[in-house]
Chain A
């Protein structure tokens, strides 16, 4: 059917009453997703966009049966909102907020340990199962149900590859933005595991970029088993202007490869078909399927 979200997903929005919260909740509801409540401390008992607003996530869950959350709150409150959503036992939590401090994410990671929550983000465009459920801020006009699962570190490239696969009549099972921050919730490996178990997904596209360890971890995972479905990848930043980095090579290598090319080689060694550039992804899929 899809991964992490489906037709039974009921979404509450933390920060619904703000400017971005209103804008994106409205769009997602018009897309046909099942949004059931908003959360805004101090505004409990009111309503917004036709939905009841509650003081806390726990209260909203108890009253509406929500099982997922979209977090659209400012960066300095985002960690508290994520922890609140995890403690309210929501199954899927999507945080789109940018610029959440890394030490705050350390606390969120601690709260996440042992919980049943799947955290997507922060700094993520969210998760989309075309025609079924949208939790996030991505454009949906080009989305089309189909067999391609997409896991991505880049919002803009997800839109691009989604549009290209739709134009080629391939369509998507689910697209997941794992988020652009160094410390985040679920990663490529969890997405790959879920896509592997999903009957509607016939192939997976990973969209990676320089920095971090997502691609390396995905390659290690794929190299260790017979995945059973073709996996494609696009990794951008081969010619990126080199960032000045402080710190020593020995420390930094712990946080991932220095170059996009190293990531590409790592993925290729694990059997992943890597597109040479952003216009070649669909051609790669066509050749292989």
Chain B
């Protein structure tokens, strides 16, 4: 889960990292009023969205006076920002963060993430931070270097300072101190990513986290109910939300072939085959092993409710706790409750495959069966109106 900017910053501030003084505002009036309470010469107005890349998309503006803050806030709030990370639909701006503009001498980049091989927090750093950092890093990954942060000893501090010196950080010792504070925040909050960009060096020699992004581990929310409560709402459609509540991973796509699959790997495999053959999947689905027939019925109902869906491609490899008849029961139940009965193309394999197919046929569902995925994919595309 991702934390919004201001929550990310408050979290690291608790560990001693300096941040610009700022306030969140939901209306232009509120933005102006709150900026008056911030002791600053100038202000930054920052659109609060879930994705990065907003600096280049006009989501961060300098404002000289509280009334200018108001103008910028009015321009941002309610608007939709399309950045390099939001996808084409963009993110709607619901609030702005107003903060003291910092007198920056140079922008740097630091981030912490867990190294999957060693399981250690790892520091990433670059002396070329700022709004254009991402494009630069994309073109030349070597602008970012990394270093393992094994522990919090004096030796590690020295190692970090040396590393930052080699990357042309000024006052590497001071920067290393901030890195160690960030490490504490990272470990204490089950973070998977903590990114500070820009990590600003001010003209009077301080290190300030001007922006911060925190992702924390979805699997550790039981330890952090306080973070879960403030996490950015995950970007789910109503259908995706229903699916999630029923032990089904579901991603809405805009094609016309509804796909019902158990297992993420098998789901990705059939999705590749469908797209390769010119088909247009209406969704990505992975029925989790914990799902029961009723959960599966909910997932199928979501597809039947979508008027674009012309056919259902059922690709099940039964085994463990999800056997083919469990899935077939779920499909049959959804069909019994729906007036739309789109044709089903089924490829059932593994445990209780014959039984599953018998259930579908005996309930008089419009089902055609195939032994392999290739045949089923081809047929579903035919029914949906041919390859794109």
Could you list which residues of chain A lie within 8 angstroms of chain B, going by C-beta atoms?
20, 23-24, 75-76, 99-110, 125, 137-139, 141-142, 152-160, 163, 180, 182-184, 207, 209-210, 212-213, 234, 236-242, 244-251, 253-255, 260, 276-279
Is B253 in contact with chain A by the CB < 8 A criterion?
Answer: yes
Q: Bound complex: CA of A262 vs CA of B318, how far in Å?
A: 31
Known: A154-B266, A246-B215, A277-B269. A255 touches B116 (CB 8 A): yes
Please determine whether B114 and A102 come into contact, CB atoms closer than 8 angstroms: yes
Known: A23-B321, A102-B217, A163-B350. A251 touches B195 (CB 8 A): yes
Q: Which of A137, A239, A278 contacts B320 (CB 8 A)?
A: A137
Q: Which of A101, A137, A244, A253 contacts B219 (CB 8 A)?
A: A101
Known: A110-B119, A246-B2. A278 touches B141 (CB 8 A): no
Q: Bound complex: CA of A103 vs CA of B192, how far in Å?
A: 8
Is B161 in contact with chain A by the CB < 8 A criterion?
Answer: no
Task: Determine the chain A residues whose CB is within 8 A of the CB of B267 once the complex forms.
Answer: 156
Please determine whether B85 and A277 come into contact, CB atoms closer than 8 angstroms: no
Task: Determine the chain B residues whose CB is within 8 A of the CB of A101 once the complex forms.
Answer: 190, 217, 219-220, 223
Interface centre among A24, A137, A241 (most CB of B within 10 A): A241
Chain A residue with Cβ nearest B195: A247
Task: Determine the chain B residues whose CB is within 8 A of the CB of A158 once the complex forms.
Answer: 265
Kindly supply a per-residue 1/0 record for chain B positions 205-230, scoring 1 wherever the CB is within 8 Å of any chain A CB and 0 otherwise. Answer: 00000000101011110110000000
Please determine whether B319 and A253 come into contact, CB atoms closer than 8 angstroms: no
Task: Determine the chain A residues whose CB is within 8 A of the CB of B272 once the complex forms.
Answer: 236-240, 260, 277-278
Is B103 in contact with chain A by the CB < 8 A criterion?
Answer: no
Task: Determine the chain A residues whose CB is within 8 A of the CB of B269 once the complex forms.
Answer: 157, 160, 234, 236, 277-278
Known: A138-B319, A156-B264, A246-B213. A239 touches B219 (CB 8 A): no
Please determine whether B51 and A106 come into contact, CB atoms closer than 8 angstroms: no
Is B180 in contact with chain A by the CB < 8 A criterion?
Answer: no
Q: Bound complex: CA of A160 vs CA of B141, how far in Å?
A: 37
Interface size class of B (residues with CB under 8 A): 35 or more
Kindly supply a per-residue 1/0 record for chain B positions 107-138, scoring 1 wherever the CB is within 8 Å of any chain A CB and 0 otherwise. Answer: 00101011111111110101000000110011
Known: A156-B266, A237-B272. A248 touches B134 (CB 8 A): yes
Task: Determine the chain A residues whose CB is within 8 A of the CB of B113 once the complex forms.
Answer: 247, 251, 254-255
Q: Which of B51, B138, B187, B289 contacts A246 (CB 8 A)?
A: B51
Task: Determine the chain B residues whose CB is within 8 A of the CB of A279 once the complex forms.
Answer: 273, 372-374
Name 11 interchain pairs, CB-CB below 8 A, sorted by A.
Answer: A101-B220, A106-B120, A139-B350, A156-B261, A156-B266, A237-B268, A239-B271, A239-B276, A241-B284, A246-B193, A247-B213
Nearest CB of chain A from residue B118's CB, rounded to whole Å: 6
Chain B residue with Cβ nearest A238: B272
Known: A163-B349, A278-B373. A212 touches B116 (CB 8 A): yes
Task: Determine the chain A residues whose CB is within 8 A of the CB of B124 once the complex forms.
Answer: 250-251, 254
Is B326 in contact with chain A by the CB < 8 A criterion?
Answer: no
Is B143 in contact with chain A by the CB < 8 A criterion?
Answer: yes
Please determine whether B143 and A250 come into contact, CB atoms closer than 8 angstroms: yes
Chain A residue with Cβ nearest B287: A156
Q: Which of B50, B138, B219, B317 contacts A159 (CB 8 A)?
A: B317
Please determine whether A244 and B87 come into contact, CB atoms closer than 8 angstroms: yes
Please determine whether A251 and B144 come into contact, CB atoms closer than 8 angstroms: yes
Please determine whether A236 and B141 come into contact, CB atoms closer than 8 angstroms: no
Please determine whether B138 and A250 come into contact, CB atoms closer than 8 angstroms: yes
Q: Bound complex: CA of A182 vs CA of B117, how far in Å?
A: 9
Task: Determine the chain A residues whose CB is within 8 A of the CB of B350 once the complex forms.
Answer: 139, 141-142, 159-160, 163
Is B59 in contact with chain A by the CB < 8 A criterion?
Answer: no
Q: Which of A137, A142, A236 contacts B265 (CB 8 A)?
A: A236
Is B20 in contact with chain A by the CB < 8 A criterion?
Answer: no
Chain B residue with Cβ nearest A142: B350
Please determine whether B265 and A209 come into contact, CB atoms closer than 8 angstroms: yes
Q: Bound complex: CA of A135 vs CA of B317, how far in Å?
A: 20
Please determine whether B144 and A250 come into contact, CB atoms closer than 8 angstroms: yes
Task: Determine the chain B residues whose CB is within 8 A of the CB of A209 once the complex forms.
Answer: 264-265, 268
Please determine whether A240 and B114 come into contact, CB atoms closer than 8 angstroms: no
Chain A residue with Cβ nearest B262: A156
**B1-48 residues at the A interface, CB under 8 angstroms:** 2
Please determine whether A241 and B219 come into contact, CB atoms closer than 8 angstroms: no
Nearest CB of chain B from residue A258's CB, rounded to whole Å: 10
Nearest CB of chain B from residue A125's CB, rounded to whole Å: 8
Nearest CB of chain A from residue B358's CB, rounded to whole Å: 18
Task: Determine the chain A residues whose CB is within 8 A of the CB of B369 once the complex forms.
Answer: none
Please determine whether B265 and A153 come into contact, CB atoms closer than 8 angstroms: yes
Is B263 in contact with chain A by the CB < 8 A criterion?
Answer: yes
Please determine whether B52 and A247 come into contact, CB atoms closer than 8 angstroms: yes
Known: A156-B263, A250-B138. A139 touches B193 (CB 8 A): no
* Given A278-B373, A279-B373; 6 other pairs, CB 8 A cutoff: A102-B220, A108-B119, A137-B289, A155-B320, A159-B319, A238-B272
Task: Determine the chain A residues whose CB is within 8 A of the CB of B192 once the complex forms.
Answer: 102
Nearest CB of chain B from residue A152's CB, rounded to whole Å: 8
Please determine whether B265 and A105 come into contact, CB atoms closer than 8 angstroms: no
Is B71 in contact with chain A by the CB < 8 A criterion?
Answer: no
Chain A residue with Cβ nearest B187: A103
Task: Determine the chain B residues whose CB is within 8 A of the CB of A100 once the complex forms.
Answer: 219
Nearest CB of chain A from residue B110's CB, rounded to whole Å: 10
Chain A residue with Cβ nearest B218: A99
Is B251 in contact with chain A by the CB < 8 A criterion?
Answer: yes
Q: Bound complex: CA of A163 vs CA of B321, how far in Å?
A: 17
Known: A102-B217, A250-B143. A183 touches B116 (CB 8 A): yes
Chain A residue with Cβ nearest B213: A246
Task: Determine the chain B residues whose CB is within 8 A of the CB of A154 once the complex forms.
Answer: 263-266, 268
Is B351 in contact with chain A by the CB < 8 A criterion?
Answer: yes
Q: Bound complex: CA of A15 vs CA of B97, how far in Å?
A: 48
Chain B residue with Cβ nearest A241: B251
Q: Which of B50, B273, B349, B351 contacts A160 (CB 8 A)?
A: B349
Task: Determine the chain B residues whose CB is within 8 A of the CB of A213 once the complex forms.
Answer: 116-117
Please determine whether A139 and B320 come into contact, CB atoms closer than 8 angstroms: yes
